[in-house]
Amino acid sequence: MTRILIVEDDSAIARNLTDFLRGEGFDAVSVPGAAAALEAVDESFDLALLDVGLPDGNGFALCSAIKQRFGTPIIFLTASGDEYSVVTGFDLGADDYIAKPFRPRELASRIRSVLRRAGRASSVVELEGLRVDTEKAQVTKNGREVYLSALEYKLLLVFLNNRGQVLSRAKLLDEIWDVGGDFVNDNTLTVYIKRLRDKIEDDPAEPRIIKTVRGLGYKL
Ligand code: CA
């Protein structure tokens, strides 16, 4: 799964971006400043989104450091007033920039185009005969196309983004409750998990992809 590091000190923006990018099938991690970014960054990240004005430094210095160490593709998130410095960003090797406020869809398409140019676009996840192409939002099971509702697909992405981790029902509800304006309560979550299993498991009675962890939740 494509990993994205978000460096942004505005916690609301960071949270929204993280949620949005996870919904888009990325493994997104956010940190609030330059020092935290340097600690978190490693070669596993396919791209970094850098805010220019950070409380403990600026995005440009960070860009140089990350580029030098890992060559990670970088997109700057610029605030109004930063535009003059966009040139500086490109001089330091930034791959693109986007001015705040931006439309999430536009950011996602910029990210995908930078990843493609950098040859890092891995949008396909496969396990147990299940194949999910998050770029095309296409799901197949044993070579046959599987048709998921928006909520079922979102639920599947939440599992893919948290592979190997136990997800509590509360966490799952938190992640999917507002997709498409549908209200999801604890009972409907059970129904959605069942529907998803019916569509992606070889034997929904003996699930091998989405496993139940008794008393705790579910795990991919
Ligand atoms: Ca900032």
DSSP H or E segment with residue 217: strand 217-219
State residue 3's pLDDT score.
93
Q: How far is the CA of 54 from the centre of ligand 1 (A)?
A: 5
Q: How far is the CA of 93 from the centre of ligand 1 (A)?
A: 20
Q: How far is the CA of 108 from the centre of ligand 1 (A)?
A: 20
Residues of the chain with pLDDT under 70: 80, 83-84, 121-123, 178-183
State residue 138's pLDDT score.
93
DSSP character string of 28-91: EEEESSHHHHHHH--TT-SEEEEESEETTEEHHHHHHHHHHHH---EEEEE-TT-GGGHHHHHH
Q: How far is the CA of 91 from the centre of ligand 1 (A)?
A: 21
Q: Which fold has domain 124-219?
A: Arc Repressor Mutant, subunit A (1.10.10)
- The span from the CA of 75 to the CA of 114, in Å, is 8
State residue 162's pLDDT score.
76
Burial 29-57 (b: 16+ CB within 10 A, else e): bbbbbbeebbeebeeebbbbbbbbebeeb
What are the extents of the domains in the chain? 3-117, 124-219
The answer to whether residues 83 and 99 touch, using CB atoms and an 8 Å cutoff, is yes
State residue 183's pLDDT score.
67
Q: Which CATH superfamily is domain 3-117 in?
A: Response regulator (3.40.50.2300)
- The span from the CA of 121 to the CA of 12, in Å, is 27
Q: How far is the CA of 10 from the centre of ligand 1 (A)?
A: 6
pLDDT digits (tens, 9 = 90+) for 123-138: 677 788 899 988 788 9
Q: How far is the CA of 177 from the centre of ligand 1 (A)?
A: 29
State residue 85's pLDDT score.
74
For residue 32, whether the previous peptide bond is cis, meaning omega lies within 30 degrees of 0, is no
Q: How far is the CA of 53 from the centre of ligand 1 (A)?
A: 4
Q: How far is the CA of 96 from the centre of ligand 1 (A)?
A: 18
Q: How far is the CA of 79 from the centre of ligand 1 (A)?
A: 8
